[in-house]
Structure 1
Amino acid sequence: MNERYKIRETKFFLAKMEESFHDRETFRYYLSAFLSAARSVTQYAREESRLKGRQQWYEETIAGNDVLSHGSQTTVRNRFADWPGTEDRIGSSQRYSEDLINLSHHYIEELEKFVQVGIEEGILSG
């Protein structure tokens, strides 16, 4: 359906995060948009797999993936907040922002693998 489009959107916001990691407020806005777009990938996949009667595939695949298994955008945000940083964790320091950028790259890689497997198994249209 729209999974690949949303992955491209996550890459757009990740590029904006990389451009703005010195500007804490701007970085936070792009991080929020990134997380929203990333969450949309799995939401589209869940709906598409449900429509094809393959919801169990979706649930098992997500549950088996340490990166994607978190149930909500808030949980993903909290997972990112577990990384070392200052008291105001999201985008508060250059090092921390760089850590979030690295995590975001990894998150996109896992989304791409997930969608590719779904396409190969005829569950997702991409």
Structure 2
Amino acid sequence: MRAVVMHEPGNVTVEELTDGLGADGVVEAVGNEASFDQALGCVRPGGHLSFVGVPHGVSLDMDRMFFAEVHMFGGPAAVRKYLPAMIDLIFGGEINPGAVFDLVLPLERAAEGYAAWMSVAQRRSC
């Protein structure tokens, strides 16, 4: 398993990391035309493209998606609903957002990070 966080165009990086296949799954969390286009360019044929929130000004090339066999999933991100209360809890000292991240690994150890995340997820689902 490999994870890539792209802060600039990264289609070439994804192709290199996957021997030209593309990523099994891509999460698009920016919500604009350029980021959707890049995400679609990174996902492999038959792969999954997930998006968070409502994209703005994005038109999808349905032929491109159809022939690439890309599966799309999306859902709302109710940030505006929860953000004011979350900020109050953080500044009031009731929530420490830094406690969310307890393990930092380089990309080449992504599989180890995924295993750690899965062990926590399994404990929480029991």
- Report which of the two has the higher share of helix: 1
What is the TM-score normalised by the length of structure 2?
0.23
Higher relative contact order, chain-length normalized (CA < 8 Å, sep 6+): 1
Rg (Cα) greater in structure: 2
